Every structure is written in C-alpha cells, then in structure tokens.
Amino acid sequence: MKKKYLSPERIDAILQTLPFPVFYAEDESLENVLAALYVEEIGEQSAMLVPEYIDMVKENADGSETYARYALIDATSDYKNTFPEFDN
C-alpha cells in the first residue's frame, strides 16, 4: 500500500498556525510527512494566567483528523520562593 504524505502547501499552512507544530515523517526532511500535530486554539486565561483549555489536531496524510481538548483541571502557584514580596 502506497503511503500518503501531506502536501508542501498543507505543511506551509500548518506552519502558520499557533506555535509548535509537530510533524511525523519518515526522515528528517519535510518531504515525507505522514501526519502533523498542532494547536488549533488556546482558550482564555484563567486567574493563574494559564489557558483554560488547549485544542489540538492530529492531521493524517489520508485526510483523517483527530481532535483533542486539554482542559485545565487544577492550578496552584507558589510565589513565596521566587517572589517573596508577593507572599501575603
């Protein structure tokens, strides 16, 4: 069975998305890319200044896509060691 690869145009479009796309390839070039994993959306910031959620897409060369949402469940912070002036 012949493997399908993402087109150079699609790779360029993914590179223009939100930061840090990950490409799965047969080698180190961007010519034989089998799939791409990228951030589609970053949610609003919580009170801790981290996103409430991050939506990811894994796009395969055959056209199938898998969507995942990573949600902030809990956040804690410890400023007193780094910023003693904020220890109230």
User: Among residues 6, 29, 11, which one has the least CA distance to residue 21?
Assistant: 11
Give, for all 88 residues of the chain, the pLDDT tens digit.
677 888 988 888 887 766 678 889 988 877 888 999 999 899 999 888 889 999 999 999 999 999 999 998 887 776 656 555 555 4
Query: Is residue 51 within 8 Å of residue 44, measured between CB atoms?
Result: yes
pLDDT at 88: 47
Element of type H or E holding 74: none
Residue 64, judged by CB atoms within 10 A of its CB (0-12, 13-18, 19+), counts as exposed
Burial class (CB in 10 A: 0-12, 13-18, 19+), 19: exposed
